[in-house]
A and B are shown apart, each in its own frame.
Chain A
């Protein structure tokens, strides 16, 4: 490379012609993209089960979106009854039923020919016969196939005959199986609920007080069934996709078909189908692979281990991705305020959850800015400290040999060290690390005069605040950027903090998550339905998140508590 090339490579302008990928979910939040779907509207309309099995099958297939739905099983077989054969269909949801019961007590008796069943008489059965005066009086029971099946063929404890699709579907959704038999206009709702997977455990990373205590597990089928039990509606679609050229990891894309925005679903599938990776081993990897580019590395997709959280977002119109082998679900899209809200918020009265939300907001600011502000104030702007406070800081620093920046960095880094060590060691030792780190080291450092007690307080407050952030990834993001602000505060005080904050805000406002502006709903002047950071009272939570432009705008009636009006 000669000098000319070096110079030209340094100073010539090469146009940057590649267009950045730019997907917008909604251009204008106030115009509706779709007409309102009638999903969930109360109607007493009931569809009777048809006598023909093929008609029933088609009806159910359309109801359950069978072409794309991955966990709905339609099992065709031939049923033997009294030597006659009927076509029959079992409908159930994979993962919600007990396969053993299913095999041994439903399919086996129905399909096997047993002796009783061989009796080839479709005629009436004579129960008793009495002959008197040459007149034969026969007590006859008419042959009734439905009763016969339920009383003789299915040795299952709970079986119910229903005659409408609505009842049948609600049974299926809750984990029963439905038996359709050709020529019959009734359905058998047979209880086969059960799991044969590893037990579901309490969530360990997202703790709530009033919510349910169940967590996702590694098996995707169990996870889908967990979601299904919460959503409990046939419009929940779980599509299968395989990601990874070698591993072909099974991923489930879940959404409620009457609510979720079609463009969003298409975009999620588009991104997942266009991944050229050899392997996909966890939800965390997938999250990074499909996220929009972000300069800030703030999390833009929510990952949760709670099925109830996933279900509530599903019903909001978002799309959930499950990855086989990973006990986390990814929720798309995620906006900034989602990372500061906990599933517990909706279980309490609005005033309490808004108070905690406010606390979390403060916690976020403290995590991000407090050490930076401390260094800025002590280095450049000591005049804003009250005189007594200044004196106590000065006094506490009297014996400290290090400059403040060094002291602060040492303490912040050792805090991160303790945190990381506490995570990595085997769990019985974990608390010990905390005690050793926090108490012994802190106390020793102060009494040795290496750090000042004020600084210990600053670092401790920052650390505590960072744990108040409900989302782990977001807390991590703030903790990392804290160091940037420490540096800026050290560099040029409030000026650096202000300029850094501005750049940070711009970058945050600029990023998008699946075509949704990341900071939507943050500004109080933006009126988008259902997207305020603070929760309204429960009777006013009328709208789904407006930025999604979902197919069904409202999630409860204008007057939700109708009992008050009657």
Chain B
């Protein structure tokens, strides 16, 4: 559909939205767990790598203008590969978003609704998705563009309001658990850049494809800056974070905000903004999964699919038996999924397709020459 194209700013906000959604639950903590006090250094190091990967993806995608990775898979390996890649990415999107939803709802339950069963808290999200997904992708992107600045302002506010609680000494010892841990084991933090997966799917939606490079690089750079902001809030405030398991570190930081005697206990308002971001993230990811599914099955009408996908997310998010399992999935499996699926699988597919295209071109050139 023509009208579901999105502008450059909307595309940036969508990619950023994926980064942001994960930090709201447990991402800063799991990053800090990996590299301890060296996280800031590690993050800059990992960020440069992520930026390089982004650039590589851009360079490869630009060879196939207007195609997303599913189209490219079809070009490379026909219908089978297309279906396979499509299913892998649908699985990735649904799985990661349901587990995130599950963990977020666990936090909501603890903070807001101690007596309500988790099922119903998740259900409210699912109902909302089923309503909102009937609208166009561009509308969701537009709302995302309104919400993302709000979330980022909330995080900046968190940073500024907590400056009095910061102790800058907390970045010492500078190498945390050692140099090896920071730069080699710490590569696992690359898994935090889940937003990179979205880069494979955005090209058909971009209104101005010539701005693709700008969109991709800006969003990843903004994502790195945002991560630095989040991690430094946690790192500077709680040296003790490494020894405790706060389920929502940013929320814990928000509890410390106080302005005089009147403006206290503002964390519920932060959570209100973060719920908006979470539902926005869910909508985007589900909408994308539906569009991939439509592409591999050639279904035109997406209305019945909305219900199916909503129920799928609902079911997957209820799968983990307890919070320990879902936390493990979010902290470790998610990171590996990002690294394996969206970085290795995606890039290798693109490289193969690129070689095929070059070969074809050479072949054509040879044929022309011989004629």
A residues lining the B interface (CB < 8 Å)? 13, 15-16, 22, 24, 27-28, 380-381, 383-384, 386, 492-499, 501-503, 505-507, 509-510, 517, 519, 522-526
- Determine whether the beta carbon of A496 is less than 8 Å from that of B139: no
Is the CB–CB distance between B2 and A506 below 8 Å?
A: no
Contact A384 B266, beta carbon cutoff 8 Å: yes
**In the complex, B269 has a CB within 8 A of chain A:** yes
- Is B2 a contact of A523 with CB atoms below 8 Å? no
In the complex, which residues of chain B have a beta carbon less than 8 angstroms from the beta carbon of A497?
272
7 pairs of A and B residues whose beta carbons are closest in the complex: A498-B275, A510-B139, A510-B135, A525-B9, A509-B139, A499-B128, A509-B142
Q: Which residues of B contact A (CB under 8 A)?
A: 2-3, 7, 9, 13, 108, 112-113, 116, 121, 124-125, 127-128, 131-132, 135-136, 139-140, 142-143, 145-147, 149, 207, 261-269, 271-273, 275-276, 279-280, 283, 300-301, 303-304
Bound-complex Cα distance A475 to B303 (A): 32
Contact of A384 among B13, B142, B268, B276 (CB under 8 A): B268
**Distance between A332 CB and nearest chain B CB, rounded to angstroms:** 19
Cα distance A522–B142 when bound, in Å? 10
Please give, as numbers and ranges, the residues of chain A lying within 8 Å of B300 by CB-CB distance: 15
CB-CB under 8 A from B261, the residues of chain A are: 386
Q: Give min CB distance, B208 to chain A, whole Å.
A: 8
Most buried by B among A28, A501, A502: A502
Knowing A494-B112, A503-B131 touch, does A522 contact B272 (C-beta < 8 A)?
Answer: no
Q: Which of B121, B147, B207 contacts A495 (CB 8 A)?
A: B121
A383-B265, A498-B279, A506-B139 known; 16 other A-B pairs, CB under 8 Å? A13-B304, A15-B300, A16-B301, A381-B112, A384-B267, A386-B264, A494-B112, A495-B124, A498-B272, A502-B132, A502-B143, A505-B146, A507-B132, A509-B142, A525-B9, A526-B7
> In the assembled complex, how far is the CB of residue B294 from the closest CB belonging to chain A, in whole angstroms?
14
Residues of B within 8 A of A525 (CB): 9, 13, 145, 149
CA distance A519 to B267 in the complex (A): 30
Q: Which residue of B lies closest to A29 (CB)?
A: B7
Question: Which residues of chain A come closer than 8 Å to B275, judged between CB atoms?
Answer: 494-495, 498-499
In the bound complex, residues from chain B placing their C-beta under 8 Å from that of A28 are 207
Once bound together, how far apart are the Cα atoms of A28 and B266, in whole Å? 41
Contact B143 A506 (CB under 8 A): yes
User: Chain A residues with Cβ under 8 A from B273's Cβ?
Assistant: 498
- Cβ–Cβ < 8 Å partners of A501 in chain B: 276
CB distance from B29 to the nearest CB of A (A): 23
Question: Smallest CB-CB separation from B300: which chain A residue?
Answer: A15
Measured CB to CB, the closest approach of chain A to B251, in angstroms, equals 13
The smallest beta-carbon distance between A117 and chain B, in angstroms, is: 69
Given contacts A383-B265, A495-B112, A495-B275, contact A502 B124 (CB under 8 A): no
What residues on A are CB-neighbors of B280 within 8 Å? Answer: 502
Instruction: Report the bound CA distance from A502 to B121 in whole Å.
Output: 16
A492/B135 in contact, CB under 8 A: no
Closest Cβ of chain B: how far from A488's Cβ, in Å? 10
Q: In the docked arrangement, what's the CA distance between A13 and B261, Å? A: 59
Residues of B within 8 A of A496 (CB): 124
CA distance A417 to B272 in the complex (A): 32
Q: Is B136 within 8 A of A499, CB to CB? A: no
Contact of B125 among A27, A499, A507 (CB under 8 A): A499
Chain B residues closer than 8 Å to A13, beta-carbon distance: 304
Contact yes or no, B264 A519, CB < 8 A: no
User: How far in angstroms is the closest Cβ of chain B from A509?
Assistant: 4
Q: Which residue of A lies closest to B136 (CB)?
A: A510
**Which residues on A sit within 8 Å (CB–CB) of B272?**
494, 497-498
Interface centre among A492, A507, A510 (most CB of B within 10 A): A510
Q: In the complex, A381 Cα to B272 Cα: how many Å? A: 11
Known: A495-B108, A525-B145. A506 touches B269 (CB 8 A): no
Whole-angstrom distance between the Cβ of B265 and the nearest chain A Cβ: 5
Beta-carbon nearest neighbor of A488 in chain B? B124
CB nearest to A13 among chain B residues: B304
- Cβ of A296 to closest chain B Cβ, rounded Å: 11
> B132 — which chain A residues lie within 8 A by C-beta?
502-503, 506-507
A526 CB to closest chain B CB (Å) equals: 7
Residues in A with CB closer than 8 Å to B112 are 380-381, 493-495
Q: Which residues of A sit under 8 angstroms from B268, Cβ to Cβ?
A: 381, 383-384, 494
Contacts of A510 in B (CB 8 A): 135-136, 139
Which residue among B121, B132, B283 has the maximum number of chain A CB atoms within 10 Å of its CB? B132
Q: How far is the CA of A381 from the CA of B270 in the complex (A)?
A: 13
Residues in chain A near residue B207, CB distance under 8 A: 28
For the complex, give the distance between the alpha carbons of A242 and B300 in Å: 40
Residue of B3, B125, B142 near A523 (CB, 8 A) is: B142
Return the contact of B262 from the options A386, A499, A519 (Cβ within 8 A).
Answer: A386
Q: In the complex the two chains form, what is the Cα distance from A522 to B279 in whole Å? A: 21
Give chain B nearest CB distance to A51 CB in angstroms.
Answer: 55
**B residues less than 8 Å from A517 (CB atoms):** 142
- Shortest distance in angstroms between A368's beta carbon and chain B's nearest beta carbon? 15
Q: List 20 A-B contacts (CB under 8 A).
A: A13-B304, A16-B301, A380-B113, A384-B268, A386-B263, A492-B116, A493-B112, A494-B272, A495-B108, A495-B112, A496-B124, A499-B124, A503-B131, A505-B146, A506-B132, A509-B135, A509-B143, A510-B135, A525-B13, A525-B149
Q: Give the residues in chain B near A381, CB-CB below 8 Å.
A: 112, 268
Bound together, the chains give a CA A509 to CA B144 distance in angstroms of: 11
Pick the residue among A24, A509, A522, A526 that contacts B9 (CB under 8 A): A526
CB distance from A390 to the nearest CB of B (A): 10
| A492 to B272 alpha-carbon distance, docked (Å) | 12
Q: With a CB–CB cut-off of 8 A, which chain B residues contact A380?
A: 112-113
**In the complex, what residues of B have CB within 8 A of residue A502's CB?**
128, 132, 143, 147, 276, 279-280, 283
* Chain B positions within 8 Å of A523 at CB level: 9, 142, 145-146
A86→B370 CA distance, assembly (Å): 85
Q: How far is the CA of A143 from the CA of B272 in the complex (A)?
A: 89
Which listed residue, A384, A506, A507, touches B265 by the CB 8 Å rule? A384
Inter-subunit contact A498/B276 (CB<8 Å): yes
Residue in A closest to B269 when the chains form the complex, CB atoms: A384
C-alpha gap A57/B9 in the complex (Å) = 54
